[in-house]
Amino acid sequence: MNLPDKTIERLSQYRRNLLISLGKGKEFIFSHEIAQLLHITPVQVRRDIMLIGYNGTLRKGYDVKELIDLIGNIIDTEEGQNVCIMGLGNLGKAIIKYLSGKRPKLKMVASFDTNSEKTGQLYAGIPVFHLNELETKIAELNISIGVITVPFDKAGETAEHLVQAGIKGILNFSSKPLNLPDHVYLDEYDMITSLEKVAYHTKKH
């Protein structure tokens, strides 16, 4: 199933909120309830869920557990995927703590840094390796996703190292735009852009 990026983003958000609802004992949910949680329209929710081949009932809505499982089958792999953090500064540390244990099919297994004072240790249970070990550890630990949290001037070469090591997907938290080969999926998160978007909307109010 080849879904648009925006649909995948929303499916991830649906699952997160459905898991919260399930934890509160909710067994069924309507599209307008999901829409309220995400501040989008019920029509958008119904379109996304129809796109993945699932239908609810008029009387009860969607089965929460079934929908969680279906979204999991679409987004996750059966065996899961391993992730590494590139750069163990403040942002890298924060992301490790935030992501650890959040999704059983996405496992944080390593971090890499050039500072020898940080390497050879564990941070929040995650081993810290020197950048020189990148290619070996990517293969050894079967890492397919790299998260870049290094400073702006190091992001390009860090991405190159990841590509050469055989990584398949990169999430870039640095503000430097990256240019990668087509076989490596790239998602770039720019905090400044997100903050400016919020600033624009608050200005209007």
Q: 112-153, pLDDT tens digit by residue?
A: 999 999 999 999 999 999 999 999 999 999 999 999 999 999
pLDDT at 164: 96
pLDDT at 57: 84
Q: What mean pLDDT comes out for the span 21-41?
A: 95
pLDDT at 55: 87
Beta bridge mates, 147: 85, 171
Please, which residues have CB within 8 angstroms of residue 143's CB and are 6 or more apart in sequence? 82, 83, 84, 109, 110, 137, 167
pLDDT at 191: 83
CB-side neighbour CA atoms (13 Å) of 101: 4
Beta bridge mates, 123: 126
Please, which residues have CB within 8 angstroms of residue 81's CB and are 6 or more apart in sequence? 105, 106, 107, 144, 145
* Residue 104 pLDDT > 80: yes
* Residue 2 pLDDT > 90: no
Domain ranges of the chain: 5-74, 81-192
Report the mean per-residue pLDDT for the chain: 93
| Residue 7 pLDDT class (50, 70, 90 cuts) | very high
pLDDT, greater one: 194 or 32: 32
Q: 45-68, pLDDT tens digit by residue?
A: 999 999 999 988 889 999 999 999
Q: State the CATH class of domain 81-192.
A: alpha beta
| Residue 22 pLDDT class (50, 70, 90 cuts) | very high
Q: Which fold has domain 5-74?
A: Arc Repressor Mutant, subunit A (1.10.10)
Q: 67-87, pLDDT tens digit by residue?
A: 999 999 999 888 889 999 999
| Residue 193 pLDDT class (50, 70, 90 cuts) | confident
* Residue 1 pLDDT > 90: no
Q: What are residue 43's phi and psi, to 5 degrees?
A: -60, -45
Q: What are residue 110's phi and psi, to 5 degrees?
A: -165, 155
Fold match between 5-74 and 81-192? no
Q: What mean pLDDT comes out for the span 180-193?
A: 91
Among residues of the chain, what percentage have pLDDT more than 90? 79
Q: What mean pLDDT comes out for the span 174-192?
A: 91
Q: Which tokens sit at 168?
A: 């398949």
